[in-house]
């Protein structure tokens, strides 16, 4: 009997060891800290002043993150990110569980970043001190729920990927077995995307991103706002005189990542936002129709590397867009009066050359340019057949440049350099000269 117990104990121990070998826990992390020992700030509203301080280049205190991930038999797992941004512990971008019932299908539930189709080029550590750059999502958006989401990843054949995301819009979770979202809104907010990799050429991607928010944070003007005979923009918008803020982002995206030439990588993407119209009842016979459409976005990132020299370029444009508020209602005396703001052409461009002096030392530069259009609002009174235009944004041009040295440290880097940002016209912009030092880790 004792021999049998010993054998069973040995088998149980061995089984436990083998089971442990099929499961694993891993750790990783990414973070960045920036310190500026000296900065010169000069604005139209204030005299020049010398500054110094630290944090992270996109704002706030250093971003420090650690991730913990685990998996068993490559069929089930989890990932969670712990963050210390602004010196406050919390959960970062990832807190989810995933399963793979079969090899071709993966389900994830929680908070995550699905980056299989995402744009291939982002910003660099110095751009906020020259001219702010756009990120990867401006080329092609990732799958990222605002709250708890369900992501379906399907890879039925080699080279093809399909993804679909639905999410909990309220963030209230499940209470007493009941969820706090209207199903129509949830599925109206769906994100569906696909990509196919052509061997030796690149990857083509397309997706649809819905929006259930509509004009969720639009503040309707009162009917008395439309009695002004000249229909000035501020009289209609009131506290929103600087422009409307909308949350409707329903759009179609497409992109192509070309990798067919050795050393060259090009990612071109575009976004077309669908127009949205909502009728709002203010009072009897005082309805308004609000039409909103985001600008068309075209973004290009390209990088070429030859030996120790590399060249990275980025161009982001936004074209058009419209906000229109029109009086409606069959018995409305002001029917046909409207206020309209039309967008123009916005351009953001960067050129970033780098040269490797050694295996661990790189020198580089960041040259940036930003063009913002002049924006006007037109208010029209149908009875008087008269319109008034009001300037909403002067627009302008900003130029920036910087040079830096980066020491690569395996799982991180140390960078330091000089950077400036300056307007090229008199538009109340800021002149900025900085000496940033950037510490970054990734493992």
As a whole number, the mean pLDDT across the chain is: 81
Q: Please give the share of the chain, as a percent, with pLDDT higher than 70.
A: 79
- Look at residues 347, 401, 399 and name the one whose alpha carbon lies nearest to residue 369: 399
pLDDT band at 96 (very low <50, low <70, confident <90, very high): very high
Work out the burial of residue 314: count CB atoms within 10 Å of its CB; fewer than 13 is exposed, 13-18 middle, 19 or more buried.
buried
- Look at residues 268, 266, 316, 325 and name the one whose alpha carbon lies nearest to residue 296: 316
Higher-confidence residue of 221 and 98: namely 98
pLDDT for 188 equals 87
pLDDT in tens, 112-170: 999 999 999 998 878 888 888 999 999 999 999 988 899 999 999 999 999 999 988 77
Taking residues 275-303, what's their average pLDDT? 78
pLDDT for 14 equals 41
Higher-confidence residue of 60 and 404: namely 404
pTM of the full structure = 0.84
Q: How far apart are CA 378 and CA 391, in angstroms?
A: 9
Q: Residue 367 pairs with which residues in a beta bridge?
A: 351, 401
Higher-confidence residue of 398 and 8: namely 398
Can you say how many angstroms the Cα of residue 441 is from the centroid of all Cα atoms in its chain? Answer: 22
pLDDT for 176 equals 67
Higher-confidence residue of 95 and 56: namely 95
Contact 114, 143 (CB under 8 A): yes
pLDDT for 376 equals 74
pLDDT above 90 (res 253): yes
pLDDT band at 218 (very low <50, low <70, confident <90, very high): very low
Taking residues 321-340, what's their average pLDDT? 74
pLDDT for 239 equals 35
pLDDT above 60 (res 204): yes
- Look at residues 310, 296, 250, 316 and name the one whose alpha carbon lies nearest to residue 277: 250
Higher-confidence residue of 175 and 426: namely 175
pLDDT above 90 (res 85): no
Radius of gyration of the chain (CA): 27
Can you say how many angstroms the Cα of residue 224 is from the centroid of all Cα atoms in its chain? Answer: 38
Higher-confidence residue of 218 and 343: namely 343
Q: Is the dihedral of CA 125, 129, 133, 137 positive or negative?
A: positive
pLDDT for 250 equals 87
Q: How far apart are CA 373 and CA 11, in angstroms?
A: 74
Q: Encode the chain in three state secondary structure.
A: CHHHHHHHHHHHHHHHHHHHHHEEEEEEEEEEEEEEEEEEEECCCCCCEEEEEEECCCCCCCEEEEEEEEEECCCEEEEEEEECHHHCCEEEEEEEEEEEEECCEEEEEEECCECCCCCCCCCCCCHHHCCCCCCHHHCCCCECCCCCEEEEEECCCCCEEEEEEEECCCCCCEECCEECCCHHHHHHCCEEEEEEEECCCEEEEEEEECCCCCCCCCCCCCHHHHCCCCCCHHHHHHHHCCCCCCCCCCEEEEEEEECCCCCEEEEEEEEEECCEEEEEECCCCCEEEEEEECCEEEEEEEEEEECCEEEEEEEEEEECCEEEEEECCCCCCCCCCEEEEECCEEEEEEEEEEEECCCCEEEEEEEEEEEECCEEEEEEECCCCEEEEEEEECCEEEEEEEEEEEEECCCEEEEEEEEEEEECCCCCCCEEEECCEEEEEEC
The most confident of the ranges 57-61, 87-91, 97-101, 125-129 is: 97-101
pLDDT above 50 (res 84): yes
């Amino acid at each position: 009997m004792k021999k049998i117990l010993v054998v069973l104990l040995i088998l149980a121990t061995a089984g436990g060891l083998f089971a442990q070998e099929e499961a694993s826990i891993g750790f990783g992390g990414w973070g960045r800290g920036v310190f500026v020992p000296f900065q010169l700030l000069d604005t139209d509203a204030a005299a020049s002043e010398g500054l110094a301080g630290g944090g992270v280049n996109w704002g706030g205190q250093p971003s420090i993150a650690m991730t913990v991930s685990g998996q068993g038999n490559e069929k089930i797992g989890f990932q969670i990110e712990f963050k210390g941004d602004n010196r406050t512990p919390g959960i970062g971008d990832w807190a989810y569980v995933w399963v793979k019932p079969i090899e071709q299908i993966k389900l994830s539930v929680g908070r995550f970043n699905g980056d299989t189709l995402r744009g291939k080029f982002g910003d660099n550590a110095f751009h906020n001190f020259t001219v702010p750059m756009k990120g990867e999502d401006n080329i092609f958006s990732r799958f990222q729920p605002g709250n708890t989401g369900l992501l379906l990843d399907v890879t039925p054949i080699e080279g093809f990927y399909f993804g679909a995301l639905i999410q909990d819009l309220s963030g209230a979770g499940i209470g007493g077995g009941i969820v706090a979202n209207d199903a129509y809104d949830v599925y109206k907010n769906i994100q569906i995307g696909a990509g196919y990799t052509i061997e030796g050429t690149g990857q083509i991607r397309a997706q649809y991103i819905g929006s259930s928010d509509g004009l969720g944070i639009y503040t309707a003007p009162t009917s008395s706002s439309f009695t002004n005979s000249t229909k000035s923009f501020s009289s209609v918008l009131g506290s929103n005189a600087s422009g409307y803020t909308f949350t409707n982002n329903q759009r179609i995206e497409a992109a192509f990542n070309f990798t067919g030439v050795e050393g060259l990588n090009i990612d071109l993407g575009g976004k077309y936002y669908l127009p949205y119209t909502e009728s709002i009842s203010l009072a009897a016979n005082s309805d308004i129709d609000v039409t909103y459409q985001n600008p068309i976005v075209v973004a290009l990132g390209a990088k070429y590397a030859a030996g120790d020299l590399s060249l990275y370029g980025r161009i982001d444009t936004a074209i058009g867009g419209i906000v229109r508020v029109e009086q409606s209602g069959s018995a409305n005396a002001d029917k046909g009066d409207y206020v309209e703001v039309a967008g123009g052409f916005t351009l953001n461009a960067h050129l970033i050359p780098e040269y490797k002096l050694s295996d661990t030392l790189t020198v580089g530069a960041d040259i940036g340019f930003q063009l913002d259009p002049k924006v006007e609002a037109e208010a029209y009174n149908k009875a008087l057949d008269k319109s008034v235009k009001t300037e909403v944004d002067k627009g302008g041009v900003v130029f920036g440049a910087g040079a830096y040295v980066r020491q690569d440290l395996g799982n991180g880097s140390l960078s330091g350099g000089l950077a400036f940002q300056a307007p090229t016209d008199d538009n109340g912009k800021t002149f900025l000269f900085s000496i940033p030092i950037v510490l970054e880790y990734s493992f």
